[in-house]
Amino acid sequence: FKGRTVVGVGFDRDTLLEAGIEGAQAFAAVSNGDNSNILAARVARENYGVTNVVARIYDPGRAEIYQRLGIPTVATVIWATDQILRRIAPGGARSEWRDATGMVQLCEVHPHNDWYGRPILLIDSITPARVAFITRLGEGLIPDEHTVLQEGDLIHVMVSEKDRSRTDEILAKSPDEIG
């Protein structure tokens, strides 16, 4: 991190000036108070013209509202819940990211073994999901029409919340079983 860190009240003018807000390229409000973080992010953006701002928000309902108002938020409760479920829930899709409304998700999916050796874009044609990328041998790869799924690949798909369970259901079967 090459930025400057200053401890103080995040929306206090003197604290912001001490931190160099007038020349800041980005601002992160990460105190333990949702209201303070939103206020600080708005002051940085609206009073000092900082375009890249983000506010950490604990209350998921507030985070959604602020996100819709154009204030980028990191909703720690939603993120933490998703991370915990990813580690304890067996099988199925595991959410890695979701939009502020929860309607669209980036999920890591674990298909039936018979999907290996098949074109990755077969997932796009058979499921309501779209392959965003795969992780192969620790490196991200955006698949094309020539990419074949290999054992050990982690598949990341974009899927709507309403289609998530259907996608899991399809990928849990062999592609040969799907009619």
Quickly tell me which residue has 């849990």 as its tokens. Answer: 172
HSE, CB side, 13 Å, CA atoms: give it for residue 130. Answer: 7
Residue 22 CA to residue 134 CA, distance in Å, equals: 41
Reading the chain (179 residues) residue by residue, the pLDDT tens digits are 676 777 888 888 899 999 889 988 888 888 889 889 989 998 999 999 998 888 888 887 787 777 777 777 777 776 666 666 656 665 556 667 888 777 899 988 889 999 999 999 999 999 999 999 999 988 899 999 999 999 888 899 999 999 999 999 999 999 999 86
Whether this model's pTM surpasses 0.95: no
The CA radius of gyration of the chain, in Å to the nearest whole number, is 21
CA dihedral 140, 143, 148, 149 (to 10 degrees): 50
CB of 53 closer than 8 Å to CB of 62: no
Question: How buried is 171 (Cβ within 10 angstroms: 0-12 exposed, 13-18 middle, 19+ buried)?
Answer: buried
